[in-house]
Amino acid sequence: MRPRDQHKQAALIEATLHQVTEHGFGATTVARIARQADISPGTVYIYYRDKDTLLEAAFLHASDQLIDTVLAAFAPRAGLRESLGTVWRALFALALKQPRLFRFHEQFTHSSRMHPALQERNEARLMPLLEALEQGQRSGVIKPVGLELIEAFLFRPIHSLIHGHSCRPFTPTPEAIDSAFAMAWDAIALPPASPLAQSDS
């Protein structure tokens, strides 16, 4: 068996991210990925069994980049709002630097290729953050809603601001980013005097 070249494997992942985000899953072929990676189509199969295996590997790569960023930034001792703000800004910086990661992750997550084992794998890696969010709900800091709503209102605005096609594009100044996080936080947080917060205490 021929040895695997890590540089070729990384080139295949990057080419996959580019092809899918530019042309979609249907139009992306192994031949197109190989051509962009400057690798022969036959060589692709040394690394991946088929196109589906390559796409899943690219998704895991994108997921790990996002999750590693979250875990590196998350510091629960600083307080939930402050910790989430640090995570939010770190993810925003990554989205500005590597927008294809977010775009590919979004496309794959909302496709038929996503399956429970992948979701469970990512959630297991994100457990410190998920447990902190659940604790925030138990203590009456965060609204008692499903985690899918927390994700939608806290983190999905990052994707919208980076990739949105609004007639008023977002200018990512530090002040604007702080304002965006404050609005995301307000969407999930319970006001201190909220009856819900009092009933949970």
Q: Which fold has domain 55-193?
A: Tetracycline Repressor; domain 2 (1.10.357)
Question: Mean pLDDT, to the nearest integer, of 126-152?
Answer: 95
CATH architecture, domain defined by 1-48: Orthogonal Bundle (1.10)
Q: State phi, psi for 111 to the nearest 5 degrees.
A: -115, 170
Helix (H, G, I), strand (E, B) or coil at 81: helix
| pLDDT band at residue 165 using 50, 70 and 90 as cut-offs | low
CB 89 within 8 A of CB 149: no
User: Domain spans of the chain?
Assistant: 1-48, 55-193
Phi, psi of 142 (to 5 degrees): -115, 145
CB-based contact 140:197 (threshold 8 Å): yes
When the pLDDT of each residue in the chain is averaged and rounded to a whole number, the result is 91
Q: Do residues 177 and 92 touch, judged by C-beta distance below 8 A?
A: yes
The pLDDT-based confidence of 197 (bands split at 50, 70, 90) is very low
